[in-house]
Chain A
């Protein structure tokens, strides 16, 4: 399962279209970090709207992506976490500290835009 990564200005937009296996998730992490480096992106938006489950492994991998991206000087915004998924994550005790979130792709772009203007 490939995750398409689009580039819009200095922002990379990765849309996860379906449930990913652990191996797919690892490949996605590598592919995204490669793109952050090769495209000199300043921000990454990951859209997880199509993910029906964010379990401990998926959450940990997303946190790793955000941290590795930050080490490259880029910001990660997670968008599209479904309400049921959010409730389950809280109950399961999963955390996404250090990862910015926004309602959807549009709000994610607005958030990054505001961040840029403040600079």
Chain B
């Protein structure tokens, strides 16, 4: 059965990270991404889902199949109602981390994907969106 065009995965525990990336992998393969891109997409989901878990304790990953001017793609949206990021610019630097991680999460994800954006408000939460387009 073909996966649905939009999938939402609740992130409450570390096993949900695996669920999210497996669903992303299935959707990306279905859309015809190369095996390398499928791994890139699954890894990006893994990093974003772990950020949700470690900074906000819970949240959601939304995966969406895109079709724009005959071009396909996949959009990943990670959202949480956690503490938010006070300095988004700094969070995008390669060495920055506040949770004892590697501090490579967000810039790394940006390198794996084609489009990347963050919206964050202190005390309200964070939404990270990343898109990968199928090669033409």
- A interface residues with partner B (beta carbon < 8 Å): 19, 21-23, 52-57, 60, 82-85, 87-88, 91-94
Q: Is B120 an interface residue (CB 8 A)?
A: no
Residues of B within 8 A of A21 (CB): 14-15, 17-18
A88-B15 in contact given A56-B101, A94-B104 (Cβ < 8 Å)? no
| Nearest B-chain residue to A83, judged by Cβ | B36
Q: Is B107 an interface residue (CB 8 A)?
A: yes
* Size bracket of the B interface: 20 to 34
Shortest CB distance A20–B (Å): 8
Contact of B21 among A22, A53, A82, A94 (CB under 8 A): A53
Contact of A23 among B14, B25, B42, B112 (CB under 8 A): B14
Shortest CB distance B73–A (Å): 18
* A/B interface sample: 21 pairs, CB < 8 A: A19-B22, A22-B14, A22-B17, A23-B14, A53-B46, A55-B47, A55-B50, A56-B101, A56-B104, A56-B108, A57-B50, A57-B101, A84-B36, A84-B38, A84-B39, A88-B43, A91-B40, A91-B108, A92-B108, A92-B109, A93-B107
Shortest CB distance B96–A (Å): 13
- Decide if A88 touches B104 in the complex (CB within 8 Å): no
Q: Which 8 A-B pairs have the closest CB atoms?
A: A92-B108, A84-B39, A22-B14, A55-B46, A84-B36, A21-B14, A56-B102, A21-B15
Within 8 A of A (CB), among B92-119: 94, 101-102, 104-105, 107-109, 111-112
Shortest CB distance A29–B (Å): 14
- Decide if A88 touches B17 in the complex (CB within 8 Å): no
Task: Give Cα distance in the complex from A93 to B109, angstroms.
Answer: 10
Residues of A within 8 A of B94 (CB): 93
- Decide if A52 touches B40 in the complex (CB within 8 Å): no
Residues of B within 8 A of A60 (CB): 102
Q: Is B35 an interface residue (CB 8 A)?
A: yes
A92-B17 in contact given A19-B22, A52-B42 (Cβ < 8 Å)? no
